[in-house]
Structures are given as C-alpha cells and as structure tokens.
Structure 1
Amino acid sequence: MKILLVEDEPEMAQSISHSLTQEKYVVENAYTLQAALEKIHIYEYDCILLDISLPGGSGLTLLKELQKINKTEGVIIISAKNSLDDKIEGLNLGADDYLPKPFHLAELHARLKSVLRRKKFEGTNLLTLANTTIDLQNRMVFIDEKEIVLNRKEYDILLYFVSNKNRLVSKTSLAEHIWGDRIDEADSFEFIYSQIKNLRKKLQDNGARISLVAVYGLGYKLVTE
C-alpha cells in the first residue's frame, strides 16, 4: 500500500515514515501544503496522513482539492489541533478518520488498516479471486488453501493488481506504486519486469486461476481463467 505523509515536523515525519516502512508500506513525504498538492495531482495513493497546520496553508485545503479533482484516496487527519470545529470540517470535507496528536504508532497502524479495508477492500481482511486468497492482515497468499511464498515486492504487485482487477495497469503507475519517491533512481523498468516474471511463474506453478497478461506497449492486466 502506498501512503502519502503530509507532516512538517521532521522528527515526527521520520518516526512515522520509519514505522510505516517497517510495516511494508511505501511512504512518500510532503512537508508543505504546496508539495502535497503537487503530489496528489501527479500520483495515486491508497491513503493520505494529513496534518492540518502546514507551511503554506491549512491541510483542509488539500481535502477540498481532492474533492475538486474527484480523487478517492483515504485520508486520516493527524493534527495537534483538536478542536471540534476542525474535526467536523475535516470529516465533512471527506476525511475518513481524525487522530489527534500525540498518538501511539500502534493506534495509527490500526486506524490506517481500518481505512484501507473500508476504502479498498470493502471491510474485509481476506481477498479472494478465483482460487487465490490474500490475507491482508498477515501478508500471506494461498492458492487452493495452500500457502505460496512471495517476496515483499511480489506480494505488493499482486495486491496492487487485485485491487485494480478491472483496470489496465501501466508500467509507470506500477513502478511508482512499488518504488515510491525513489522511482527516479531506477534506470529502467527491468526491476518491474523481473518481479512480474517471478510472480507469474509462482502463480502458474501453483495452479492459480488468475494470471497477469501483458498488453503490448501499455502495461498489464489481471485476468481470471
């Protein structure tokens, strides 16, 4: 899952980013309102962690912009401003949750998982497509109830395809989702090709009735047999 953290306090941003990375999320950072606005226009995210008090303006402006451009990312407001008015306005503008500072990182993880389940997977911890099941809580994959072992990137790629099962996924969007802010460090898409090749083989070898089909010149699509 790809997270945008909009937080201007360096120590808190570093702490949250490290904790989320340890939990296998891809995390991008924005330290100002302008930087956050630029990112939501360019990239797709599964959830945004949003401070209200930011250099350049209020984080509530970002919520208004998300509505304006018809984007549906989950949003959790994380803010030291704990007034009832801020909370109500944020929720009315489309935020999914409000977590006042200071908070325990364990609670942030729980709130984040809850929002992702509701927004992306209709509230479930188990995703099933044909004979393949993904256990979101434990990051495990089963084919005909038999576990198959995937590395971190293979799992992230499979989950991305399952959550976009009716869409053509471009190489660029897939790379950005898996690589995050570091996509510019990659010289080519070879790392994506390699991971997809390995994932395809594991699915095929274990009798999965889903597969990743290449659409020449455009990207890939998940199909069921």
Structure 2
Amino acid sequence: MKILIVEDDQDLREITTRSLEKERYVVSQAPDYRTALLKIEDYDYDCILLDIMLPDGNGLDLLKELQALGKRTNVIILSAKDSIEDKVVGLDLGADDYLPKPFHLAELHARLKSLFRRSQREGEHKMQVGNIEVYPDQFRVMINGKQVELNRKEYDILYYFMSRPGRLVNKNTLAESVWGDHIDQVDNFDFIYAQIKNLRKRLKDAGATPELKSVYGFGYKFVVE
C-alpha cells in the first residue's frame, strides 16, 4: 500500500514514515501544500495522511483538488485543529477519517488497516481471487489451502493485483505503487521484470488458477482463466 504523508512538522513526518515503513507500507512525504499538490497531480496513492494547517496553504483545499482531479483516494486528516467545523468540512470534502494530534502510532496503524479493509474488500480480513487467498494483516498467502512463501516485493506485487483483478495495469503505475514515487524515472524496468518472473513461477508451482499476463506495449493483467 502506498501512502503520502502531508505534514510540515519534520520530526512527526519522519517518525510516522519510519513506523509505516516497518509495517511494509510504501511511504512518500510532502512538507507543504505546494509539494503535496504536485505529488497528487503526478502520482496515485492508496491513502493520504493530511494535515490541515500547512505553511503555504490549507490541507482542506487539497481535498478539493483531489475531487477536481477525479481521484478517489482514501484520506485521513491528522490535525491539531479539533473543531467540529473542520471535521465536518473535511468529511464533506471526501475525507474518510479524522485523527487529532497528538496521536498514538498504534491507533494510526489500526485505522489504516480498518480503512483499507472497508474500501477494498467490504471489511473482510481476507482477499481471494480464484484459489489464491491473501491475508493482509498477516502478510500470508495461501494457494489451494497451502501457505506459499514470497519475498516482500513478490508479495507487494501480488497484493496490488489481488486488489485489482482483471484490470489492465501500466508498468509505470505498478512501479510507482510498489517501489514509490520517481521510480518511473529509472532507465529501465528490469527490476520489475525479474520480480514478475519469480512471482509467476511461484504461483504456477503452487497450482494457482489466476495468471499474471503480459499485455504487450502496456503492462500486466491479473486474470482467472
């Protein structure tokens, strides 16, 4: 899962980033409104942790920009401003949750997991496509009832496609989502091809019915024959 932290407090931003990365999230940062705006224009995120009071703008205006861009991104407002008006406006503009500062990182993790379960699989703790089952809270993969061991990037790629079965995915989009912003600027995508090749072999060896197919000139598609 890819998260953008929009927060001007450097210490809080770094502490939150390290904590989220330990939980295997891909994390990007924006210390101000301008940087955040450029990032949401150029990249997609599974969730944005959004401070309201920024040095060069109001975080609530970023919610309006998300709407204008037509992007349906999960948003949790993290703000020391605890007024009812801010909460109502933020939720009306599309925010999914509101967590006042200071907050415990454990509560943030719990809210993120709950949010992702609600938005992607209607609250279920298990994702299933064909005979593949993924348990995100445990980073566990089961095929035909047997556990399959994957390395971190293999798991991240599988999770990404399990969240989007049947959808055509551009390799640039896949790279950004699994490896982070600016990875699309590398000279080649050999690192993706290698991970995809290894993942395909593991799935085939385990008897998976879904298949990760290449779409020439574009990217990949996760389908069940």
Same fold (TM over 0.5): yes
Deviations 1:16-38 (A, max 9, x none): 00000000000000111111111
TM normalised by structure 1 equals 0.97
In the other structure, the counterpart of 2:20 is 20
The equivalent residue for 1:181 is 181
Tell me the residue number matched to 1:128. 128
CA distance in 1, matches of 2:166, 2:54: 37
Q: Which segment is superposed worse, 209-218 or 157-166?
A: 157-166
Shift of 1:167: 1.4
CA distance in 2, matches of 1:184, 1:75: 24
Aligned twin of 2:98: 98
Cα deviation 1:53-106 (Å, max 9, x = unaligned): 012110000111111222111000001111111111111111000000001000
SS class of match (2:181): helix
Distance (Å, rounded) in 1 between the aligned partners of 2:42 and 2:120? 20
> Which position in structure 2 is the counterpart of 1:224?
224
Distance of 1:15 and 1:185 partners within structure 2: 27
Q: Aligned residue for 1:75?
A: 75
Which structure 2 segments of 5+ residues have no match?
none
Amino acid in structure 2 at the alignment position of 1:139: F
TM-score, normalised to structure 2, is 0.97
1:141 maps to what in 2? 141
Q: Hey, which bits of structure 1, 4+ residues long, moved more than 4 A?
A: none
CA distance in 1, matches of 2:85, 2:188: 48
Matched position secondary structure for 1:72: coil
Q: 1:192 maps to which residue? A: 192
- Counterparts of 1:58 and 1:217, CA distance in 2: 41
State the SS of the aligned residue for 1:78: strand
Equivalent-residue separation in structure 1 for 2:64 and 2:39 (angstroms) = 15
Post-superposition CA distance 1:93-131 (Å, at most 9, x none): 110000000010000000111111112222111011111
| Root mean square deviation, CA, Å | 1.1
Distance in 1 (alpha carbons) for counterparts of 2:57 and 2:13: 18
The amino acid across from 2:131 in the alignment is N
Q: Distance in 2 between matches of 1:103 and 1:33?
A: 22
**Where does 1:107-122 land on structure 2 (aligned, <5 Å)?**
107-122=107-122
Q: For residue 37 of structure 1, what is the aligned residue in structure 2? A: 37
For 1:181 and 1:72, locate their aligned partners in 2 and report how far apart those are by CA, in whole Å. Answer: 18
**Corresponding position: 1:150 with 2:179:** no
Deviation at 1:192, TM superposition (A): 0.4
Q: How far apart are the structure 1 equivalents of 2:71 and 2:120? A: 13
Percent of residue pairs bearing the same amino acid type: 57
Aligned pairs, number:
225
Match of 1:3 in 2: 3
Partner SS, residue 90 of structure 1: helix
